[in-house]
Amino acid sequence: MENKSNDLDNIISDHLDSITENEVIEVQEMDLDEWLELVFSKKDEEYLFIDYMFPNESLRKEYLENIQIRKDEEVINLIRKFLIPSGSFNGDIINLGYLVHCNKNDKPQFKKLIGREYYKRLLKSALKKESTVWEGNTWIIDLLPHNPKLAIDAIEAYFIAHIQLLPDGRFSGLQDAKAIIRSKFIYAKHPESILLSLNPYDFEKLISALYKEMGYETIITKKSGDGGVDVKAEKDSIGEKEKLLIQCKRYEGTVGQPYIRDLYGAVNDAKANKGVLVTTSYFSKPGIEFATKNNIELINGNQLQIILNKHFGTKWPYHLDHIISRSN
């Protein structure tokens, strides 16, 4: 490895000598429109400026608060900027220097480092110019807008795998990307009339399809003798079978305590793990208090939209017929 170490020393020296300082554009005092115009320009090829994260909390807050009026194309392009591209960062040369140092002075640590995929790619890239140091995650864009939960899960997995090596700015950029996905594609608000336009049975089938998407096996109960239960959902949990009894109320008015009591009785009779009452509207205060004390989960209309966005994507209203068919 001695000759390779000498080669790496030369590579590091040449790289440091070749670094040129591009002109820096300060963006901290820019307003949101000015910064976005700069981010989507080609100036990042000539200048250095923050385009891999929101440059300050003020711009972050303003963008997220008004994100629903922005086009999907713009939002996705900004997310792409915040994700990790395939390539290398300036900090990689520092990690390469540390790897060379360990090879010369700390063989056990060198052996430990070289067992990690990042350092294997780093060394191969330096010696053979045949690999990319950072395998990027911009492919996550292909999960949007229809699979926002998977997109967030993928970002979190990437972060966990690279937490010790990610530059601080790139870490912040990934957090900002997740915030954008949540704000645009999960917390999007749709008209209440969309769910109210369904007949009660199709609403039950929608909830059944939703829980199927969440990993449950579901059965829509018969219309008589169901004890107030519309959908039964089961899945294997850690060491046991989880059984839920779900009641669906496609209502415009407030859902009161009597319905919740009926569901509670059905849960006890069936020895289920939990009852879930899903509605397009809201619950009364006494009903909420009763549910809290008796292991009944309540999902109101706003919460239901968020869950639908999370599992079916923000465009679910355009695909209701297809989603409902999944319950069959």
Q: Above 80 in pLDDT, residue 214?
A: yes
Answer yes or no: are the C-beta atoms of 304 and 278 closer than 8 Å: yes
CB of 73 closer than 8 Å to CB of 45: no
What pLDDT band is residue 5 in, cutting at 50, 70 and 90? low
pLDDT of 13: 61
CB-based contact 221:229 (threshold 8 Å): yes
Query: Which pLDDT value is given to residue 226?
Result: 56
Q: Can you give the residue ranges of every domain in the chain?
A: 2-186, 193-325
Reduced to 3 states (helix: H, G, I; strand: E, B; else coil), residue 307 is helix
User: Is residue 220's pLDDT more than 90?
Assistant: yes
Q: What percent of the chain has pLDDT over 90?
A: 76
| pLDDT grade for 195, boundaries at 50, 70 and 90 | very high
CB 249 within 8 A of CB 259: yes
Q: One-letter amino acid identity for 42?
A: K
pLDDT at 90: 82
Window from 66-75, 155-164, 217-226 with minimum mean pLDDT: 217-226
Query: Per residue in 23-38, pLDDT tens?
Result: 889 999 999 999 999 9
pLDDT at 202 over 90: yes
Class of domain 193-325: alpha beta
Residue 178: pLDDT above 80?
yes
Sequence-ordered alpha helix ranges (H) in the chain: 2-18, 32-39, 57-65, 72-82, 91-105, 107-114, 117-128, 148-162, 168-181, 193-196, 200-213, 257-270, 285-293, 301-312, 320-325
Judge whether residue 124 has pLDDT over 80.
yes
pLDDT higher than 80, residue 268? yes
19, pLDDT greater than 70: no
Neighbour tally for 23: CB within 10 Å: 9
Q: Supply the pLDDT for residue 209.
A: 96
Q: Which of 225-229, 263-267, 315-319 shows the lowest mean pLDDT across its residues?
A: 225-229
Tell me how far CA of residue 3 lies from CA of 92, 93, 113, 126, 325, in angstroms: 21, 18, 19, 13, 65
Residue 3's pLDDT is: 59
> pLDDT grade, residue 20 (50/70/90)?
low
pLDDT tens for each residue of 41-58: 988 778 889 999 999 999
pLDDT in tens, 269-327: 999 999 999 999 999 999 999 999 999 999 999 999 999 999 999 989 999 999 998 77
Q: What is the pLDDT of residue 325?
A: 86
Is residue 87 within 8 Å of 132, Cβ to Cβ? yes
Determine what percent of the chain is predicted with pLDDT higher than 70: 91
